[in-house]
Chain A
Amino acid sequence: MSVTRLQTHLDRLEAESIRILRETVAECRKPVLLYSIGKDSSVLLHLLLKAFYPAKPPLPMLHVNTTWKFRKMIEFRDRVARDTGVDLIEYINQEGLRQGTDPVGAASKHTHVMKTLALRQALADYGFDAAIGGARRDEDPARAKERVFSLRGAGQRWEPRKQRPEPWSLFNTRLDQDETLRVFPLSDWTELDVWLYIRREGIEVVPLYFADERATFVRNGALLVRDDERVPLEPGEQLVAKRVRFRTLGCWPLTAAVESDAADLDAIIAEMLDTRQSERAGRIIDLDPTDSMERKKREGYF
């Protein structure tokens, strides 16, 4: 038995997210948790388990696999699914795979076909009416006005004018035919909150977030960690061992590493608290569709 105390900021964020998750399950016909294996997904899953304890969460999680994720991510995903007992649906855009994917030569097409289209197909194929995602409002000024329950029209398009006010966080979940919802329980969290909560709760995250010596090479100015043989080194490129870590995780040829000594949570948070450089600075964002570009896309879409 633990002793209760006055609610801290993290307590309040946690309670509100749990309320949003319960509301989604109570009101929506067929919800699903979008699981991307990243730190936000780890937090979401942790909250989901708390929200429905001692029951198993009454909804599955969906991972849209582009087939280019780090192997460590897939290992982590499968272990988490096994340990928690939450049903995992893996969705791969088979048509896209047949046509061939090329995250190196045609990054934005790859992302569109294997992530954006694939997600749309997956939601439509399974008939999910609410997809819970880990997006936060602080990720980008353009997200500052997004709702917690975001309404999507036909084709899952975001229609700004149809978004519903949410006074007292009373969520209107009624849907017309062809309409679906995206639900963002972490809307009010900042990146710092996410890491502080991971630390407080002892939530496991993919080890790629922590600095380690990894075989890196530089392409188009981005520091990449080679995860498999599908991308041959070009003349002049060579593998160099460096202490690096990742701030976001996606398709490995599209995710730039940063040099860092932050090998544990405290060090990662200390790095964040040093505000002399923003998290975006020093990163090759434009070459990294898993980050800014992709995120922007998701704002309209995710």
Chain B
Amino acid sequence: MKATSDERDDAALTAAGLAARLAALENRDTLRFAMCGSVDDGKSTLLGRLLAEAGMVPEDRLAQMIRDSKKHGTCGGAPDYALLLDGLEAEREQGITIDVAWRYFGTDKRAFIVADCPGHAQYTRNMASGASSAELGVVLVDARAGVQTQTRRHTAILAMFGLRRVLFAVNKLDLIDYNHARYHAIELECEKLAHDLGISHADAIPVSAIHADNLVAHSPNTPWYAGKSLLEYLETVQVERRTDAAFALPVQWVNRPDHSFRGYAGTIAGGRVAPGNEVLVLPSGQRSRVARVVGGDADLDSAGAGQAVTLTLADQIDVARGDVIADPAHPPEVAAQFACHLLWLDDAALLPGRRYLMKLATREIGAQVTEIKHRIDPDTQAHLAATRLVANEIGYCNLSLDADIAYRPYKQDRRLGGFILVDRETNATVGCGTLDFGLRRDRNVHWQQLDVDRAARAKIKGQTPRCLWFTGLSGAGKSTIANLVERRLLSEGYHTILLDGDNVRHGLNRDLGFTDADRVENIRRVAEVAKLMMDAGLIVLVSFISPFRAERRMARDLIGEGGFMEVFVDAPLAVCEQRDVKGLYAKARAGKIANFTGIGSPYEAPEAPEIHLRSDRESAAESAARVADLLTK
């Protein structure tokens, strides 16, 4: 879709006219808006008709649309303006009809970037990409139905993503006979909805996409409406672009072509910066002054929010990607624990305690949700109890990071408060959220420095503390082999401890069951205990099915590379089931045990274990000897 103006019919633009238009186009600004509505509200028809009425659709494409409408339009042969937008066949084939579609159009005053959000009830997650970058939300309302569940849900998501202004386009006005009283009632309903959700600016326009009422020109059908047409509104609406924020720049790239230049490249999240300004680097807290502000290929007097620049500093200090350079008078906050809103995107549920990667601005860091405070009902905003979040659910959670980061609450700054979570195994983007505030909890539990440390305790035992993590199916022989290894180590004078899955579940973990969430917590506790035992100088043998890669990685991260040895006790399911020492497979097959690994719940085999034992091909004694030999050498 192309830009145009009222002058489009002047085939031969005068030289002066062209120069003026080019100047206008070059200096126009942008409005990014998210457009939402239920499936039947006529969203595509409205957008298509708006473009056509504004003269942005070439005549040959209009003619094509009118021909296509007769063949497969949905308006009984009359022009179906929705056809101007859709590449429907292609989308169906690709199976991605539920994604946000990006549309582009413009006038001489403004360029518009439209996130056309899918209307299906269950696809909340697909609104995320569109709403997160939008400056305005446009919500379609069917005049016959007024505010519906979907309207509430879409508006609530816009509110969660921090939109402060929403336009309600009350469509199909022709079907209520342009009744002013009815429209006014809907308008009040919309205003109340926005107010309840904390959206400070709500507007409404009565339209009919089919009849082009109030799209570009004022409609004679609504003499009682004195406001702007939809296009006028979009061209002139003032959206909040914070100009008062304090300077902050997340460092994206350290630019070091040679020893004479060391620059920190990034996009300014807020505020302005100029040479000579004092700056603070977070989270380290070092200070310096800005020497140069380089933009493109020239030095700038100053630069502001949204600009991609490169700063050089007066002092040689250590600054890396992920750090934030900021105004020391009003710096971003620093924390490692947060209260946040989280929208879950993945088909696999969010499990508290599982480790994910978080990306916020340019920082990437290990993260886990430590607690789901509650889930939010998308229709009523009620708080519901939850132990996990599935796709499309929004939760209010506590988030814990591996280290401090610089951030601003999302309400103040989207760029320093919005984050995504990535699954470390599948690499999928599984969640997105907004930081509400930092929790000071960790500041009250100080780390006690102890004079006697792990090395000292290990020294008097004459050994190197390690954690041997035996993983494998039930019946693969983990405990048998671990037991033999411990006997051999003990006989050679090593100090050891064996943590067995079944035994630990009788004590420390007796409050845990076998849901995915409990399995994660089970492993977290055992990994923490193993670490304490290693601090005591011991060689720790852990014998747990530990079916999930993510949890074994959590254990590895917690215990530390080098000390952690993954021992994969590998036997085919059929062999284990045949052995069935404890009779558990039989019960699982009979449906008496839910979530039994290998039957009702998956086992994810290690990809690169330190030791790989094939317990179906060698005896337990042979396996144990191989492990012990490795340790005692």
Contact = CB atoms under 8 A, between A and B. Distances in A.
Interface of A: 1-4, 6-12, 14-16, 18-19, 22-23, 25-26, 49-56, 137-138, 140-142, 144-145, 160-170, 172, 174-176, 187-188, 190-193, 196, 199-200, 266, 269-270, 272-278, 280-281
A192 B3 contact: yes
Interface string B70-97: 0000000000000001110011001110
Nearest to A13: B30
A141 B96 CA distance: 13
Contacts of B113: 188
Contacts of A145: 91, 96, 99-102
A199 B19 CA distance: 12
A247 B210 CA distance: 35
Interface residues of B, number: 91
A52 B2 contact: no
B432 interface: yes
Interface string B516-538: 00000000000000000000000
B594 interface: no
Nearest to B86: A141
Contact of B307 (A4, A54, A175): A4
Chain A to chain B: the 8 pairs with minimum beta-carbon distance, closest first: A141-B87, A55-B257, A278-B58, A167-B132, A18-B308, A144-B101, A168-B418, A174-B427
B567 interface: no
Q: Which residue, A1, A56, A175, has most C-beta atoms of chain B within 10 A?
A: A1
B192 interface: no
A167 B128 contact: yes
Q: Label chain B's interface by main secondary structure.
A: mixed
Contacts of A275: 2, 4, 8, 55-59
Given A53-B296, A140-B87, A273-B4, A8 B28 contact: yes
Contacts, number: 220
Interface string B1-12: 111110010010
B136 interface: no
Nearest to A300: B94
A247 to B, nearest CB: 13
Contact of B362 (A26, A162, A190, A280): A26
A170 B419 contact: yes
Contact of A22 (B4, B56, B59, B253): B253
B399 interface: no
Given A9-B106, A144-B103, 12 more contacts: A4-B304, A8-B26, A16-B308, A50-B297, A52-B253, A55-B255, A168-B420, A174-B357, A190-B1, A190-B104, A199-B22, A276-B58
A273 B1 CA distance: 11
Given A165-B129, A273-B3, A275-B4, A54 B60 contact: no
Contacts of B133: 167-169
Interface string B336-367: 00000000010000000000010110100000
A15 B257 contact: no
A140 B90 CA distance: 11
